[in-house]
Amino acid sequence: MSSTLKISLAQLNFTVGAIGENKDKILNAIQAHADTDLLIFPELALTGYPPEDLLYRPDLYQAVASALDEIAAATDSVAVAVGYPQTDGHKVWNTLGVFHQGRQIATYQKQTLPNYGVFDEKRYFTPGESSTVFNLGEHRIGMLICEDLWDEMPAKRAREAGAQILISVNASPFEEYKYPQRLQVLRARCQENHLPLVYVNLVGGQDEVIFDGNSVVLNEEGDVALHLPHCEEAVMTAHFDGKHVRMQPLPANPDNEASLYQALVLALRDYVEKNGFPSVLLGLSGGIDSALTLALAVDALGPERVRAVMMPYRYTADISIEDARQQSEWLGNQFDVVAIEPMVESFLETLAPLFVDTQRDTTEENLQARCRGTLLMALSNKYGSLVLTTGNKSELAVGYCTLYGDMCGGFAPIKDLPKSLVYRLSSYRNTLGPAIPERVITRPPSAELAPDQKDQDSLPPYEILDEIIDGYAERDLSVSDLVAAGYDETVVRDVIRLIDRNEYKRRQGAVGPKVTRRNFNKDRRYPITNRFTRHLLES
């Protein structure tokens, strides 16, 4: 091996539990990049991340051991770093192994285990207790795994153990505005230790988590020498002369809307592909939420795998049907119109004897949504398509949605997007080509479940609602904090009451990708039966 070291970053998309497929993907990459010196794969690449309670299955480790034997046998001149779970029969470690010339030459166990947000690593793993530095030719390489970088000590220990280059394998999730924060942490570790860093991140969607890639190599001053793409698979090579890494041309970073849209497309595509659905379908209302969902679906899967169903009732405006049809013509997806009036009237007739001496209320409105949900689920059963729900974070927060109606479905692509962000992404998508009719973006939002209905008849303006939701649900601000920030106290109390009252609805909603600081699934685990809100609002 020459004094120049070639390290290749394999930013690849692995599938949780698909150990055989993941192993084959690793072997194919080894064969394709046999001219490199060290080929690095992401955290827990062999099992996919996060494997969750699969880690309790003894047969998982048998499959891992068999796959590692094949990987080791495939290494000759190239050294390979692979993440996998390791067990002694009692404890489990999040491990990075290095294989070279047919054997394992280094083993490192993750020291810093995250246990917040989407992470539950302390539920499964035992923390490692020591650093690992291995020799590759004339180079001494220190090993880290993801959260180790967010703590100063593991990198420092690796340097003290003689590391000249740091490598870190990662499964670091995407969220809006996170990349600059992540890069700041990586730079700090380089500058503190005067060492270059090779950071290999996972890419792909896994249920509600998106891994965005954006793998990087930084020099010892913390400058980016190599940058891999956002939300795409790629293998790229960095060249080291001792500790010095050669600088390479860097791609332009996508703006916030572009990176967010690409992440949502990746999440939707991977959920459909990795779960084996042939196609998707959704209810297209002529409103902005379903319009953005349709655009995401077509961009993720192609128009031939997407079906949009317009289900008008007497309160549906003609322009809603026109806009839905126009959008489907632009995008090229299948478009159906199924009037629900016969279904709704049949339900009302059946229920009339049971509703004697009652007034019309949201019950009758919700029947419309539930008829639509029944139609979509029937199509799903018949054709095997995945139903996409189209609710946004603002509506889910306050319960402005119907259980077993518009909440019917198996994946919710925009469930973590506040309404204000839905508008921004819709406008962004139109910069790429005609996708969403402008009238859909500019019209006042309406559920169209009653005559002349507008969302703002029941809710504060979305720009205010989203800020209160962010303050209370994402930043844990109190009533007094929000009032001091300038929001009307009555509105604040009403919104908080709605948020906590509707935990039961959100608990029954479809899974969807996390993109904000705190989503309503794993990030925020509130009890359904909960009287603290009453105390909060009475204080």
Residue 450 pLDDT exceeds 80 = no
Binding-site positions for ATP read 283-290, 390
| Of the candidate ranges 181-185, 292-296, 449-453, the one whose mean pLDDT is the lowest | 449-453
Average pLDDT value over all residues in the chain: 95
Write down the architecture of domain 258-455 according to CATH.
Answer: 3-Layer(aba) Sandwich (3.40)
Would you tell me the crossing angle of helices 362-383 and 341-351 to the nearest 10 degrees? 120
- pLDDT of 486-502, one tens digit each? 999 999 999 999 999 99
Per-residue pLDDT tens digits for 230-281: 999 999 999 999 889 998 888 877 789 999 999 999 999 999 999 999 999 9
Question: 462-469 and 419-431 are packed helices; what angle lies between their axes, rounded to 10 degrees?
Answer: 120
The Cβ of residue 313 has, within 10 Å, a number of other Cβ atoms equal to 19
Predicted pLDDT at 449: 66
Cβ–Cβ < 8 Å for 407, 372? no
pLDDT at residue number 316: 86
List C-alpha distances in Å: 87 to 56, 62, 109, 171.
10, 10, 11, 20
Residue 75 is predicted with a pLDDT of 96
**Can you give the residue ranges of every domain in the chain?**
5-246, 258-455
**Angstrom distance (rounded) from CA 199 to CA 191:** 15
State the Cα angle at 254 between 330 and 259, rounded to 5°.
65
Return the minimum-mean-pLDDT range out of 86-95, 197-206, 442-451.
442-451
Q: Give the mean model confidence (pLDDT) for residues 360-384.
A: 96
pLDDT at 434 over 80: yes
- CATH number of 5-246: 3.30.460.80, 3.60.110.10, 3.30.413.10, 3.40.50.1110? 3.60.110.10
Binding site for deamido-NAD(+): which residues?
366, 395, 505
Of 87, 41, 79, give the one whose Cα is nearest residue 63. 87
> Which pLDDT score is estimated for 290?
98
**Active centre residues (catalytic):** 43, 110, 146
User: Residue 105, Cβ neighbours under 10 Å: how many?
Assistant: 15
Q: How many CB atoms lie within 10 A of CB 398?
A: 23
Summarised one tens digit per residue, pLDDT across range 451-487 is: 776 767 678 899 999 999 999 999 999 999 999 999 9
pLDDT tops 90 at residue 187: yes
d(CA 468, CA 457): 18
